[in-house]
Homo-oligomer: A and B are copies of this chain.
Amino acid sequence: MKKVVVLLSGGLDSTTLAYLLKSEGYKLFTLSFNYGQRHKKELECAEEIAKILNSTHKTVDITSITSLISKGALTGSTPVPHSHYTAETQKITIVPNRNSILLSLAFGYAVKLGISNVAYAAHKNDFTIYPDCREDFASRFEDAIRWANDNFKLNLLRPFINKTKAEIVKLGLSLKVPYQKTWSCYEGDDLACGQCGTCQERLEAFRLNNAKDPIQYKVTI
């Protein structure tokens, strides 16, 4: 049976990715990281999604490395920008070298388990600001990882790299992804704020599909 280690944050993109890979016949090994994010609810969502998908799930605590690398809004005391992302406001959510770190850990785990595939949900909306969500990075990183392990069967699956968030939601709706169980908001509150860049992107993705986001928001949408 083909197997894959999936970076599962509990958000919309990675949940759709897990559903897609499950529908393609993969046995899933989902991996979440506790990096001290404000939005811990994501981690609980990831766990629940993993259960539904019958995935072997692991949450790894990497808070000890947060102080080493982070200065961004997702973990620090910098306020999360409230409005649709602009290049400038999205930039403060950058965690330097984030995907190299998380994917290196995921590949370490995959190699230990004898699994050849690691998947992440990099997509087109992240392209402009996050260079580690681009094909230019992904293909080079995959190549480096193969050489790092002397294993040329290793693959970095990235099926959304040329898809927009709206296209991901379109696919997810067709796969019957339970979006009410996902979490995107960068704030740490009980209900999604509806105002941070991630909430706005998410709402827009549903709107473009003439669909309603099933989660509850603090504000009237």
Binding site for B on A (CB under 8 A): 58, 60-65, 68-71, 95-101, 104-105, 107-109, 111-112, 131-132, 134, 136-137, 140-141, 143-145, 147-150
Q: Complex formed: what's the CA distance from A131 to B149 in Å?
A: 6
Closest 5 CB pairs of A and B: A69-B108, A97-B108, A96-B111, A140-B144, A131-B150
Q: Is the CB of B104 within 8 A of A97?
A: yes
Q: Complex formed: what's the CA distance from A71 to B110 in Å?
A: 12
User: Which residues from chain B contact A143 at a C-beta distance below 8 Å?
Assistant: 140, 144
Q: Pick the residue among B60, B69, B134, B140 that contacts A65 (CB under 8 A).
A: B60
Would you give the shortest CB distance from A208 to chain B, in whole angstroms? 28
Q: Is the CB of B140 within 8 A of A97?
A: no
Q: Complex formed: what's the CA distance from A63 to B136 in Å?
A: 32
Nearest to A95 among chain B residues (CB) is B108
20 contacts between A and B (CB under 8 A): A58-B68, A60-B68, A69-B108, A70-B112, A96-B107, A97-B108, A97-B149, A98-B108, A100-B104, A100-B145, A100-B148, A101-B105, A101-B108, A104-B104, A132-B147, A132-B149, A134-B147, A136-B147, A140-B144, A141-B147
Most chain B beta carbons < 10 A, residue from A68, A97, A107, A109? A97
Would you give the shortest CB distance from A147 to chain B, in whole angstroms? 4
Nearest to A61 among chain B residues (CB) is B64
Given contact pairs A69-B105, A100-B104, enumerate 15 new A-B contacts (beta carbons under 8 Å).
Answer: A58-B68, A60-B64, A63-B64, A65-B105, A69-B109, A69-B111, A70-B112, A104-B104, A132-B147, A132-B149, A134-B147, A137-B144, A137-B147, A137-B148, A141-B148
Q: Is the CB of A97 within 8 A of B131?
A: no
Q: Is the CB of A108 within 8 A of B61?
A: no
Known A68-B108, A109-B69; contact A148-B99, beta-carbon cutoff 8 A: yes
Nearest to A107 among chain B residues (CB) is B97
Q: Is the CB of B147 within 8 A of A68?
A: no
Would you give the shortest CB distance from A68 to chain B, in whole angstroms? 5
Would you give the shortest CB distance from A140 to chain B, in whole angstroms? 4
Known A97-B104, A101-B104, A144-B137; contact A62-B65, beta-carbon cutoff 8 A: yes
